[in-house]
Structure 1
Amino acid sequence: MELGFDKPSPAISFVGRHNSGKTTLIVKVISELVSRGLNIGSIKHHGHPDFDIDYPGKDSYRHREAGSCDVVVISPARMARITEIYDEPSCDEVVASMPNHDLVIVEGYRQSGLPVIEVLRQGNERDIPAAEQLCTEGHVRGVVPVAVVTDMESVVSYAKSEAIPCFDIDDVQGVADFLQNRYARPKLTVAIQAGGESRRMGQSKATVPFLGRPLIERIVERVAPVADEIVITTNEAENLAFLDTLDLCCDLRLVPDVYEERGALRGLYSALSAASNPCVAVVACDMVFASAPLIAHEAVAMQMRRADAVVPCNRFGFEPFHAVYRADACLPAISDAIAQRKVRARDFYECINLSRFGREDIEKAAPGGGCFANVNTPEELARMERSIQENGDR
């Protein structure tokens, strides 16, 4: 079972020429974000292949000089690793090796594909041609910035005309606000839908026994590692009181459906409206292999893509009940769809900025597959139990 895993870290890059002031800015921004309680990682792209972090006379240097190609230095408070490499790793690979941060701030790596903040300073001669290229061509060396930090009037005017976020070179608070609101990992509510009628099952799916315990208990434990809050939409709260005894790393609340008339779209509205956080993952209570890693990757994708929803899509179509939604954008669209008597969970997708999470994305996030398998009948439940007993859980 996925009871523990590494959460992928969102990342953004600051780029600029030598003496543009980007390092000074980055240091101040990191300090500000850390003071707000964010867990920040950072990457510095060094242009010289032979840079060093130890020096002659240190024990680590002597280890490497003797021929060790991988030296780890550990103290009670920190660890450093010096590894000789033959091919420079990509920025994506480096970021992937740094999980569990609210944000990774990268200095350099313009061509990495990460969102880029361009730093341009009036007093730096090297920034003048870069500023001209941005103002005339809309990019610097082929990369369009998501924001600029500058004290150059021409760049400020251009940014305003193109509605590009623009910050003064000394506006650390403003840059930190931008990063926290747009790119840092958001707080996440996981809403488990357990309010269905379960007619084919013949009893509540939430409380049906599965591998010796209620099915809902299994789902809660699978998604808890990624959740800052768990909400269960249910009309049988009295039968789920046993969930209070679970040892979880987050709060759990039971909430009733908003609408008396049930249905997929109405259930989705109930889930999003009950959440305390703006980012909401919605999972059906009968998805026996619900995947916390998949939810985590979807949440990061929603933030990085600036989408209103990230919905996995496979050969069977959309999977709306293993998706992540931005509540403030989706609730009005769902309400309008309900008013038009629409009932399918996907019936509001055309009204929001939806991002598909394709088969390659799904495989990367949850290589084992099977995340969307669900059980609707006693026969399906029994088959799934036998499969797990014979082949192991995942």
Structure 2
Amino acid sequence: MVNVPSPAVSIVGRHNSGKTTLIVKLIEELVARGHDVGSVKHHSHKGFDIDYPGKDSYRHREAGASETVIAAPGQIARMKTLKGEAECSDIVRSMPGHDIVVVEGYRKSGLPTIELMRSGNEADQRVAEAFALGAERGWALGTDFTQIAKCLFTPEGERIEGAEESLDDDLRNDGDRAAQELADEAPGEPAVADAEDGVHPDLARKMPGVNTVAIVTDIPRAIEAAAIYGIPAFDLNDTVVLADFVESHFVRPRVTVVIQAGGESRRMGRSKATVPFLGRPLICRLVERLSPVADDLVITTNEPDNLTFLHQEFPQLNIQLVCDIFSSRGALPGLYTALQAARNPYVAIVACDMVFASGALVVAEALCMNQTGADVVVPVNKHGFEPFHAMYRRMECLPAVRRALDRGEKRAQSFFGDDSVVVHEFPQSKVLEAEPMGGCFINANTPDELHALEDMVMEG
């Protein structure tokens, strides 16, 4: 998984909520399931150190080194002097290759957040009450319930009489001000929209904290509020169920990557898989680009004897060479073979002539499939669908593809209209988010095109 961005989720809560205890249990459970887990701890105090006076690395830093790497067999640590505080997104980007990164803290990072509220913590009890009050009164989920709690209770934990009505008024007035600001920004638009249960809709859109995806709590009022807001609530001690949720929504799914190598290409004049590219068979480039994100790697081909060299070239990958099930040529029969050969529920299918095929895009499509529940996640651009750098849910797509084949269809996307298949279009903006360099769908059909792509790679 080297250089492939890691998905991440954040566990947030107040001081003494038990975040570290929960995270340790969650990491243990996810690792026991075979996942590679990274972690980030947000330390709120300035000046912490993981080295001690007298150690050689400490002396390096004391001498003025702005960055020191401590390396030993099986371990490495890096200490770097920063101006200000590192953004959570930058930290996670610096940790590629994990199935999931579990972050402690960084509430405002933009990551999906799991909120922890524990009955043994008085601050959590007050926030849970504010959370429940907000749910009952229709306050937006983005409301900062920690701040609301400070308005509802004295420092000693006593309820402030009339605080709820005052908050309603404040939220409504803030909504009016927000509407006026929007009117000033967009003259001619209605200045005030209808307020709903004390929260102006324009204000609700501006509130922080909308990334809450779940609550972990043993406080009944918090559980009631979560139900009203329509977000799942998990028992504080049921780590297995919480891990199920994280695994199904955020962990990088297990993916079979299928490279479709086919056989002889009329326009290329020979097999695309074995045509030289920068001095090596083109298929080797595809294997190297995609194997880091493959839990299982399959190459569909009509010339398996000519590709057995891959077993010697990449002995660690256990590559399957699979012949097409159907004798007839066509994109759809090849896709059916690919889905049949896969060992995992998610199947990424990529054409062997896509010189810039992207592992990062494969991961982004798999995570999108996780989050949307789609059966197909297919990039779409001005040229239409790109079915040969797309993600397929194996068991749901197989029967639909078979029905299309029985109708005599040959085009890969001909089964997208099947009522049993949910297709999610992955726009170009999302493609570039995953692979900023772009070019993922460029393919080589002729020797001239292949040489042009070689020049492009050589130039940078």
TM category (shorter chain) comes to 0.7 to 0.9
Decide whether aligned partners of structure 1 residues 386 and 100 sit closer, same or farther in structure 2, where only a CA change above 3 A counts: closer
Q: Mapping of 1:97-246 within 5 angstroms?
A: 97-135=94-132, 136=135, 137=139, 139=141, 141=144, 142-159=209-226, 164-195=231-262, 198-201=265-268, 204-207=271-274, 214-246=281-313
CA contact (8 A) 1:121 1:150 kept: yes
Q: In the TM superposition, what is the alpha-carbon distance from 1:120 to its structure 2 partner? A: 1.4
Decide whether aligned partners of structure 1 residues 70 and 192 sit closer, same or farther in structure 2, where only a CA change above 3 A counts: closer
Larger deviation, residues 116-125 vs 175-184: 175-184
1:28 matches 2:33? no
Decide whether aligned partners of structure 1 residues 200 and 64 sit closer, same or farther in structure 2, where only a CA change above 3 A counts: closer
Residue identity opposite 2:422 in structure 1: I
Decide whether aligned partners of structure 1 residues 216 and 232 sit closer, same or farther in structure 2, where only a CA change above 3 A counts: same
1:41 matches 2:38? yes
Q: In the TM superposition, what is the alpha-carbon distance from 1:43 to its structure 2 partner? A: 0.8
Give the number of the structure whose alpha-carbon radius of gyration is greater. 2
CA distance in 2, matches of 1:271, 1:234: 10
How many pairs align? 387
2:424 matched residue in structure 1: 354
1:374 matches 2:443? yes
Decide whether aligned partners of structure 1 residues 125 and 104 sit closer, same or farther in structure 2, where only a CA change above 3 A counts: same
CA contact (8 A) 1:193 1:284 kept: yes
CA contact (8 A) 1:156 1:166 kept: yes
Could you tell me which runs of 5 or more consecutive residues in structure 2 were left unpaired when the two chains were aligned: 145-208
Residue identity opposite 2:439 in structure 1: G
1:85 matched residue in structure 2: 82
Decide whether aligned partners of structure 1 residues 224 and 134 sit closer, same or farther in structure 2, where only a CA change above 3 A counts: same
Q: In the TM superposition, what is the alpha-carbon distance from 1:18 to its structure 2 partner? A: 1.6
Decide whether aligned partners of structure 1 residues 314 and 289 sit closer, same or farther in structure 2, where only a CA change above 3 A counts: same
CA contact (8 A) 1:287 1:374 kept: yes
CA distance in 2, matches of 1:154, 1:170: 17
Q: What SS does the aligned partner of 2:31 have?
A: helix
Q: In the TM superposition, what is the alpha-carbon distance from 1:109 to its structure 2 partner? A: 1.4
Residue identity opposite 1:190 in structure 2: V
CA contact (8 A) 1:264 1:345 kept: yes
Residue identity opposite 2:336 in structure 1: Y
Q: What SS does the aligned partner of 2:324 have?
A: coil
1:257 matched residue in structure 2: 324
Residue identity opposite 2:424 in structure 1: L
Q: What SS does the aligned partner of 2:92 have?
A: helix
CA contact (8 A) 1:7 1:297 kept: no
CA contact (8 A) 1:312 1:362 kept: no
CA distance in 1, matches of 2:294, 2:61: 43
Aligned-CA RMSD value: 3.4
Residue identity opposite 1:320 in structure 2: P
Deviations, residues 344-390 of structure 1 (Å, cap 9, x unaligned):
433455642515152464365252x43322233xxx22342365268
CA distance in 1, matches of 2:61, 2:83: 15
Residue identity opposite 1:182 in structure 2: H
Q: What SS does the aligned partner of 2:108 have?
A: helix
TM norm structure 1: 0.82
Q: In the TM superposition, what is the alpha-carbon distance from 1:133 to its structure 2 partner? A: 4.6
Residue identity opposite 1:94 in structure 2: I
Larger deviation, residues 248-257 vs 305-314: 305-314
Percent identity at matched positions? 52
Deviations, residues 141-190 of structure 1 (Å, cap 9, x unaligned):
33252222111223334445666333211112222233233322222211
Residue identity opposite 1:143 in structure 2: V
CA distance in 2, matches of 1:24, 1:335: 49
CA distance in 1, matches of 2:255, 2:312: 22
CA contact (8 A) 2:299 2:320 kept: yes
Q: In the TM superposition, what is the alpha-carbon distance from 1:91 to its structure 2 partner? A: 1.3
CA contact (8 A) 1:182 1:306 kept: no
CA distance in 2, matches of 1:75, 1:236: 46
CA distance in 2, matches of 1:17, 1:353: 40
CA distance in 2, matches of 1:194, 1:297: 23
